[in-house]
Structure 1
């Protein structure tokens, strides 16, 4: 993320399309960077299904809550107590960002036009453009994909793909290399539709 921010126009407002957490070796640093940019008015961090999952795990009590938190990469990496301050912050994250002629959300909109953090094919196949061009992440692809009214920008950075920024006004894509892990070759990473990655449209 730091490498990508270094090559993006300094005055652009960044929209993080969710799933900033729960993957990769430096989750807390990534969260802190995104939060600080948002606090300073330079970015909007949208909630993804991974943020939602952590919110729910932190809110659960008893043994069920313990098990849910153990299943969270973020908790495993930084600890339960370190995650607690993030519960309030993550609850503040919006679900959608709207601009002139386009919008951004984590995964798409349901049939009622509400943001849905886990939707895939049903949105891709039925979206009619009512919210303009929609920029989404959620499902890693080998490259940024432009469809009629939808742009998918998750290119599987945490699985060896690239971290991608997309500018809706200019249709420009800027990318940097993602996590290079010999056990997770880039050619295999985005094939599984359930994998999550990091996204930063500009």
Structure 2
């Protein structure tokens, strides 16, 4: 069997679901496993998620970046969710976050993994850090990015504007179902909010998901912003 590349969406502390997903996919020792960032916060087992990802590959997510930026701040000054995560993490985990790449290229599949996505019309080699970690709704050539709920008229989701050539595999934006476009695939289906945990398996581009073990939150029940026909996001 051909070696596979398995890209897994945002874990956000959902370690047991990650094990469920890997069990369903059944990776061999020769398969490549990549996490799309945002391993921590929200869910119940952030440290276990980090230590799982440390065995494989991972791109930097905005939540990992935030913990690196705040590493010298006392816990009392952090948001409660971030403080709970930080209390579980050691210096070795924060150093690991600081070492993570912003992208992982998969030229054999014509693809690249980036946590949030990419700014349309800019080559992947020239993308800035902010957009790789945070991009959502944009209106090129303006470089601002907005949450869907805050986006002015004329702004739309970056992945509907991205024309390649790479197919970007991303997380970050919580969707009610995977985003599957010609040039982009979105995998964050909100496991920490009670939605599925989703992966894509290459070279077949097969989506695989498992049910969340987390309680379904109000956020997961109401997806108000359509990012492409039939796919909505939470914002």
Per the normalisation by structure 2, the TM-score is 0.68
**Is the strand fraction higher in 1 or 2?**
2
Find out whether 1:109 has 2:126 as its counterpart: no
- Distance in 1, Cα, partners of 2:175 & 2:217: 19
- Contact 1:57–1:69 (CA under 8 A) maintained in structure 2: no
Matched residue of 1:24: which SS? coil
Q: What residue in structure 2 maps to residue 29 of structure 1?
A: 48
- Contact 1:48–1:106 (CA under 8 A) maintained in structure 2: yes
Q: What residue in structure 2 maps to residue 118 of structure 1?
A: 134
Q: What whole-Å deviation, never above 9, does each CA across 1:65-119 have from its counterpart, x for those lacking one? A: 3378622634324517x43322211111111111121111101123463252000
Equivalent pairs counted in the alignment come to: 180
Which residues in structure 2 correspond to 1:21-170 (within 5 Å)? Answer: 21-35=40-54, 37-38=55-56, 44-58=57-71, 60=72, 65-66=73-74, 70-71=78-79, 73-77=81-85, 79=87, 82-99=89-106, 100=108, 101-110=110-119, 111=122, 113-114=126-127, 115=129, 116-122=132-138, 123-130=158-165, 132-170=166-204
Q: What whole-Å deviation, never above 9, does each CA across 1:151-185 have from its counterpart, x for those lacking one? A: 11111111010000112421211110113315557
- Deviation of 1:143 after TM superposition, in Å, equals 1.0
Find out whether 1:9 has 2:26 as its counterpart: yes
Q: What residue in structure 2 maps to residue 198 of structure 1?
A: none
- Distance in 1, Cα, partners of 2:46 & 2:200: 22
- Deviation of 1:31 after TM superposition, in Å, equals 1.2
- Distance in 2, Cα, partners of 1:72 & 1:49: 17
Q: Alignment RMSD, CA only? A: 2.4
Per the normalisation by structure 1, the TM-score is 0.79
